[in-house]
Amino acid sequence: MLPGPNPPLGGPVSYFVYILASRKHGTLYIGVTNDIARRVFEHREGIGSKFTKKYRVHRLVYMEAFDDIRYAIQREKTMKEWPRVWKVRQIERDNPEWDDLTGKLNR
């Protein structure tokens, strides 16, 4: 069993698994990165992912932090295998309105 996401406060956080959405209940994209603010910017500028550019998947609606890239990659793979209803449930548990969380990244 892999350790869970979101290491304790004060611990190093270097990797993120995230979900982008085109709109509430719209198209979803799951990714992993070591710089969430930069990666969201790249998605919005159409850099790096043809899928997010084509389907305009730019709204950051969910993210988990990890201190080890191996766990982050494993979590990304696991989430990509989930049925859509599980992904929606995961988003709505923490972000019921599907608000764009990008503004909270620099706080």
Asked if the model's pLDDT at residue 55 lies above 60, the reply is yes
Percent of the chain at pLDDT exceeding 70? 88
pTM (two decimals): 0.87
In the prediction, which pLDDT does 5 show? 56
Q: Can you spell out the DSSP letters for the chain? A: -PPPSSPPTTS---EEEEEEESSTTS-EEEEEES-HHHHHHHHHHT-S-HHHHHHT--EEEEEEEESSHHHHHHHHHHHHHS-HHHHHHHHHHH-TT---GGGGTT-
Domain regions of the chain by residue span: 15-68+84-104
pLDDT in tens, 15-47: 999 999 999 999 999 999 999 999 999 999 999
